[in-house]
Amino acid sequence: MLTSITSYLHSNETPGAAGNMFWALLYILAIFLGLSIAVIAMNWLERKVLAHMQVRLGPMRVGPHGLLQPIADALKLLIKEDIMPAHADRLVFWMAPLITVLAAFTTFIVVPFGPTHAVTDMNIGILFMLGVSSLGVLGIVTAGWASNSHYPLIGSLRSSAQMVSYEVAMGLAVVSAVLMTSLHGTGVYGTGTTGSGTGTLSMIGIVKAQYDQQIWFAFKFFPLGLIAMFVFSVAMVAETNRAPFDLPEAESELTAGFHTEYSGFRWSLFFLAEYSAMIAVSSIAVTLWFGGWLRPFPNALTGATWDLLFSLFPGFSFLGLGALALLSAMRMPRHRMFKIQTIGLAGFGALLALIGLGLLVPPLRDRVQDIYWFVAKVAVFMYLYIWYRGTFPRYRFDQLMMVGWKILLPTALAALIATAVVGVF
């Protein structure tokens, strides 16, 4: 038992591939924990970033700069009365949030945070991810139906139509990225490498293909990769019901859409699922088009110096954040009312700095680097989500369908065919 635990440390496989149950469970736990923290952080960040876009401050009261606000919110949700509408279908009403949250969390089994940092690597990785995340819509549909109320019903009808429609465009965009794993191209489109020509659906395989071909798929067969990436990144916003495609929960039309009748803990499950799904689709985008865990220029800037330089990134960015927190702690008003806040912020900064220092220790440094780059790339997409929400009005339902079927679908199809043609000839 013990030997199998320690021996895995030297293997270069995922725990799933190595058949190591202990490490697989540990990874699942770590991902679960990390995801929960990410959702909490995302909640705080969204409120702060959106607030600053909208000339206000956002949460400022609970903890320094509102850092504890998400925790206070979660606490509030937990102790809130759990209401079930009269004549609601009790069983289905109870199951709906579970389905959504399960679907959103299960996808993370195959997300590759690094060459070995994934629970398992499936032969059908990307297919599995798309499939399981598409199960989430079942929870939304049943939630709307079980609520026995008109607004949720309309909301869930909207969302099912929307998600089914955008899955098509999304799938086609994904296929063109999968196609690129086996196509090396010739002439101007050539990547300068040759290979056996077998493609792969495995998430790790896709990233490795990008490493082998020495190009992120977003820039491969320029501009075909970019087009597919663009189609995907529009479809993924629609798929997660976020602005400007947030019709299922269009606040001004349907009060809160499919989760109008939900409250307390059940509602918070929907919330958790929505944000996890956002992270999941962002991870797909990063894996398929932006080189997953690969650090910038893994082929061009090689050598011990560059390796060292890039591996210092995680530590130093945490140190930088810590310094920022300490700086703003110093700039806090000198008043006894702010004493606890100042101490808290300084403590938070010290914690970040400590993590940063820890990440500079050599063995950890190399292990964590992949995860860092992956998370950093996902964070860019998450920021885009917030940005969209601050900028765009909401689409109307027929316009949403038109965008999906008449613009994205043909574009994705054309990009797919062009990719095949360019890649083969």
Partner 1 sequence: MQPVATTFFFYFLSALALLGAVFVITRRNAVHSALALIVTLLALAGIYLMLYAPFVAGVQIILYAGGIMVLFLFVIMLVNLERAEKEKQFNQQWLIALVAAGGLGLLFVRVFTESKTVSGLLQKPLAQLAESTNTQQVGIALYGNYMLAFEIASLLLLVAIVGAVVMAKKRI
Partner 2 sequence: MSEASKYLSQLQVGEGEQTFLDSNELIINMGPQHPATHGVLRVILKLDGEKVLGTECVIGYLHRGVEKIAENRTYTMFNPYVDRMDYVAAVSNGLGYCQAVERLLNIEAPPRANYIRVILTELNRISSHQLWLGTHALDIGAITPLFYTFRDREEILKIFEKYCGARLTTHAFRIGGCQYETYEGFERDVKSFCNFVAPKIEEYEELLTTNRIWVERTKGVGVLSAAGCKALGVTGPVLRASGVKWDIRKAQPYANYSEFDFEIPTRQSGDTYDRYMVRMAEMRQSLRIIRQAVERIPEGPIMAKVPKVIKPPPGEVYHSIEAPKGELGYFIVSDGSTQPYRLRVRPPSFVNLQALDLMVRGQLVADVIAVIGTLDIVLGEVDR
Using CB under 8 A as the criterion, which residues of the chain lie in contact with partner 1 when the complex forms? 16-19, 21, 89, 91-92, 95, 122-124, 127-128, 130-132, 134-135, 137-138, 141-142, 144-146, 153, 156-157, 160-161, 163-164, 167, 198-199, 201
Nearest to 97 by CA among 109, 108, 110, 84: 84
Q: Which is nearer to partner 2, 126 or 278 (CB)?
A: 278
Question: Binding residues for partner 2, how many (CB under 8 A)?
Answer: 31
Instruction: Return the DSSP state at 187.
Output: G
Q: Which does 288 bind (CB under 5 to 8 A by kind): partner 2, partner 1, none?
A: none
Least distance in angstroms from the C-beta of 76 to partner 2: 21
Type and span of the H or E element at 159: helix 150-180
User: Does 303 sit near partner 2 (CB under 8 A)?
Assistant: no
User: Does 394 sit near partner 2 (CB under 8 A)?
Assistant: yes
Q: Which is nearer to partner 1, 16 or 112 (CB)?
A: 16
What would you measure as the largest C-alpha separation in the chain, in angstroms?
Answer: 73
Helix axes of 264-289 and 69-78: crossing angle, nearest 10 degrees: 130
Q: Which is nearer to partner 1, 20 or 369 (CB)?
A: 20
Contact track, partner 2, 244-263, x by CB under 8 A = x-xx--xxxxxx--------
What is the CB neighbour count within 10 angstroms for residue 295?
A: 19
Fill in the amino acid letter for 29.
Answer: L
Least distance in angstroms from the C-beta of 35 to partner 1: 21
Contact region with partner 2 (CB under 8 A), list: 28-36, 214-222, 241-249, 414-422: 241-249
CB 319 within 8 A of CB 353: yes
Least distance in angstroms from the C-beta of 400 to partner 1: 16
Contact track, partner 2, 42-61, x by CB under 8 A = --------x--xxxx-----
Tell me how far apart the alpha carbons of residues 298 and 294 are, in angstroms, rounded to a whole number. 7
**Secondary structure (3-state) at 290:** coil
Fill in the amino acid letter for 400.
Answer: L
Tell me how far apart the alpha carbons of residues 151 and 140 are, in angstroms, rounded to a whole number. 13
Q: Which two tokens stand for residue 324?
A: 């920022």
User: Does 11 sit near partner 2 (CB under 8 A)?
Assistant: no
Q: Which residues contact 225 (CB under 8 A, 6 or more apart)?
A: 176, 177, 180, 216, 217, 218, 219, 289, 419
Least distance in angstroms from the C-beta of 145 to partner 1: 5
Q: Which is nearer to partner 1, 20 or 311 (CB)?
A: 20
User: Does 372 sit near partner 2 (CB under 8 A)?
Assistant: no
Least distance in angstroms from the C-beta of 155 to partner 2: 11
Phi and psi angles of residue 411, each rounded to the nearest 5 degrees, phi first: -60, -45
User: Does 300 sit near partner 2 (CB under 8 A)?
Assistant: no
Q: Which does 394 bind (CB under 5 to 8 A by kind): partner 1, partner 2, none?
A: partner 2
Least distance in angstroms from the C-beta of 125 to partner 1: 9
Q: Which residues contact 263 (CB under 8 A, 6 or more apart)?
A: 80, 81, 82, 83
Q: Which does 250 bind (CB under 5 to 8 A by kind): partner 2, partner 1, none?
A: partner 2
Q: Which is nearer to partner 1, 164 or 361 (CB)?
A: 164
Tell me how far apart the alpha carbons of residues 371 and 362 are, in angstroms, rounded to a whole number. 15
Considering only residues 32, 94, 297, 392, which one is a binding residue for partner 2 as defined by CB under 8 A? Answer: 392
**Secondary structure (3-state) at 256:** coil
Nearest to 200 by CA among 112, 261, 281: 112
Q: Which two tokens stand for residue 188?
A: 């101007």
Binding residues (CB under 8 A) for partner 2: these are 50, 53-56, 150-151, 154, 157-158, 243-244, 246-247, 250-255, 389-399
